[in-house]
Structure 1
Amino acid sequence: MANFKNYGGYSTSFIHSALPVSLPLLQAEQQADLAPVEGSPNNLAHYINYSLALSQSRGFPYFVAANIDGRLFKKVSRTDNWRKDSRISAVHQWGEELYKARKSDFDKGHMAKREDVQWGQTVLEARAAADTTFYFTNAVPQRAELNQQIWADLENYILHTESVPNNLRISVFTGPVLCPSDPVFVTKVLGKALQLPTLFWKVVVFTKDEEKLYRVGFLMGQEQLLRKAKIVKPKTVKIKVLATERFMEFEDAETYQVNIGTIEELTKLILPAAQDIYQDDRPTKLVLEEVDLNARLATPEAIAELGYRIPNLVI
């Protein structure tokens, strides 16, 4: 039995006591749609080093907020101990009944990455934090072909190459775009029609000088992958929001850097305030480049350690 009292959750003062990073703000209708969480007056589900807001109508999070401390990262073994959160009604969470359903050809996509929160003063603390990422509340169906490498490495890249050596702390906000026009899964689950998110977003907040906060945003899509695998039903109506030329890029399972305003427009969330670094209305597809072994000697130590760079990332 989990000791939820030890789940401190996301900290707004994590980066610096003088630079608080608030949680995303929900619209009134989103707030009313939050799944009730036992013991939480604001219906936020707190885990170790991260928190989330779960939509009861969709069974997926509106957002997941995580604190990452690279200095305290520990290597631990992976458990894969997926389970539902007992503080939340099972009817508001999708579990194995979704991921083992017919045509469920997708992964349990972590919103808060296991490695992101896998830190603490001791290995035991890091292992406990990593284990809490295996609640189904933190999972959203994602096709395995998604461009996970860049998506997964963004935080580490910013953490190890852009933050100053004495301040290796960042806050990351992630989630699916829960759009009313999301396509419907071809298999009913527990007798219910289920809409699958096609877009995922990530916002990284950090500081370079301990005087100002900066933020960068990213989007990734999987609509074409879902439709190609015939996991979702064919379109019957034209999607007004995503059919615009502006958002068509995000169907192709690549990772794009975008304006924070684009993410706010899609999610209807108000994201924590910070200085926007990327201010181009045109999304930029990110490219991951392996660092040549000989070239590593001439690169910054952190890039050499990671073995890659993202040359067109604006931070």
Structure 2
Amino acid sequence: MGFDATFLGVPAPLPRVTGPRAAECVELDYVHFAVVLDSVRRFARVTGVNVDGAALVDLDRGGDRWQLDDRVPADWQAGPLVYADNDFDRGHLVRRRDPVWGERAVAARANSDTFHYTNAAPQASGFNQSKELWLGLEDHVLAYAQATAQRLSVFTAPVLAAGDPEYRGVRVPLRFWKVVAWNAGGAAAGGAAAAATASPALATTAFVVDQAPLVDTSEARPVVGGAPPLGPFRTFQVPVADVAELTGLEMPELIAADVLPPTAVAAGWRRLESVDEVLLPAV
């Protein structure tokens, strides 16, 4: 099924890998989401998931049975060795619950699909377990979007930077990004009747999280350490254009739909302590 760029009722395509790196990447379709895997870095350059907030199905995790994707060579994927005997978590890029909607059998397949190593990246345990802010951002925007729509498209991946530290044959990403998109006009929420009375309008907002303070890739002292004065990790709301610059991805549609006001963009990255601090336009 993969990712549907028209899911919101207004085009919201996956950010594109361009230039020489494009030849190193392959797009893998799963139920309600897609992963663009970088075969050299062995992590996703970008993921995209369609979230139908009105049709989510409540399923348990199913035993966390992580698996390699047999459609691509194993050495293109950062597999179990990266996560063995250390404090790294297999951090979902597409959140487990996001694609789990629709008919129960379909939702169950989506649930299982999120447990592919292609959809994971190493996250320090303090990053993944001790804070709810990063995971709660999508819920917060979904609750906001329900005023006009009940669907989101969410794009997430690590920032695959040249200076990321080496560890067990991979370079561990220190930052992650997320762009959330929704239809601010409401055409996706009510079908044909809503489309006749509403003007579809893409809206987006972006976030970056930095796990650098927690990451230590030495085998003698893997990952762990005291929390720095600013907290175990830092989450920011940022201009979508900054995500494009950080990642080298093309996303002009998402940049043009950014809801951050010019004054906020000019002020730079906004450090967040809670979801209540996220800037969203009035509805």
Shift of 1:311: 2.5
In the alignment, structure 1 segments of 5+ residues that lack a partner are: 1-7, 35-42, 233-249, 289-309
Aligned partner (choices 28, 43, 47) of residue 45 of structure 1: 28
For the structure 1 residues 252 and 228, does the alpha-carbon distance in structure 2 shift closer, same or farther, using more than 3 Å as the test? farther
Equivalent-residue separation in structure 1 for 2:55 and 2:252 (angstroms): 25
Aligned partner (choices 99, 110, 122) of residue 141 of structure 1: 122
Greater displacement, 62-71 / 264-273: 264-273
Is the aligned partner of 1:284 residue 2:263? no
For the structure 1 residues 251 and 140, does the alpha-carbon distance in structure 2 shift closer, same or farther, using more than 3 Å as the test? farther
Match for 1:255: what amino acid? T
CA contact (8 A) 2:166 2:217 kept: no
Aligned partner (choices 184, 203, 216) of residue 214 of structure 1: 203
Equivalent-residue separation in structure 2 for 1:32 and 1:10 (angstroms): 20
> 2:41 — aligned with what?
58
For these two proteins, the number of residue pairs brought into alignment is 250
Q: SS state of the match for residue 9, structure 1?
A: coil
Aligned partner (choices 253, 257, 261) of residue 233 of structure 2: 253
Equivalent-residue separation in structure 1 for 2:251 and 2:82 (angstroms): 30
Equivalent-residue separation in structure 2 for 1:154 and 1:223 (angstroms): 20
Q: SS state of the match for residue 108, structure 1?
A: strand
Is the aligned partner of 1:116 residue 2:98? yes
> 2:68 — aligned with what?
84
For the structure 1 residues 174 and 148, does the alpha-carbon distance in structure 2 shift closer, same or farther, using more than 3 Å as the test? farther
> 1:30 — aligned with what?
21
Aligned partner (choices 219, 222, 225) of residue 214 of structure 2: 225
Shift of 1:148: 4.2
Q: SS state of the match for residue 142, structure 1?
A: strand
**What's the TM-score once normalised by structure 2's chain length?**
0.83
Q: SS state of the match for residue 72, structure 2?
A: coil
Q: Which has the higher strand share?
A: 2
Match for 2:82: what amino acid? L
CA contact (8 A) 2:145 2:182 kept: no
Shift of 1:228: 9.1
Regions of 4+ moved over 6 Å:
none
> 1:302 — aligned with what?
none
Shift of 1:164: 2.4
Q: SS state of the match for residue 311, structure 1?
A: helix
Equivalent-residue separation in structure 2 for 1:56 and 1:263 (angstroms): 21
Equivalent-residue separation in structure 2 for 1:148 and 1:218 (angstroms): 15
Equivalent-residue separation in structure 1 for 2:231 and 2:22 (angstroms): 28
Is the aligned partner of 1:264 residue 2:255? no
In the alignment, structure 2 segments of 5+ residues that lack a partner are: 187-199, 224-229
> 1:9 — aligned with what?
2
CA contact (8 A) 2:152 2:180 kept: yes
Q: SS state of the match for residue 108, structure 2?
A: helix
> 1:130 — aligned with what?
111
- Residue deviations 1:10-68 (CA, integer Å, cap 9, x gap): 0011011xx1111111121220111xxxxxxxx31000000011111111000000000
> 2:195 — aligned with what?
none
CA contact (8 A) 1:21 1:272 kept: no
Equivalent-residue separation in structure 1 for 2:56 and 2:110 (angstroms): 11
CA contact (8 A) 1:54 1:137 kept: yes
**What's the TM-score once normalised by structure 1's chain length?**
0.75
- Higher RCO (Cα < 8 Å, 6 or more apart): 2
Q: SS state of the match for residue 273, structure 2?
A: coil
- Residue deviations 1:273-311 (CA, integer Å, cap 9, x gap): 1421114241111222xxxxxxxxxxxxxxxxxxxxx32
Equivalent-residue separation in structure 2 for 1:78 and 1:272 (angstroms): 35
CA contact (8 A) 1:22 1:272 kept: no
Match for 1:270: what amino acid? E
Equivalent-residue separation in structure 2 for 1:163 and 1:206 (angstroms): 10
Equivalent-residue separation in structure 1 for 2:243 and 2:233 (angstroms): 16
C-alpha RMSD of the superposition: 2.0
CA contact (8 A) 2:126 2:232 kept: no
Match for 1:226: what amino acid? V
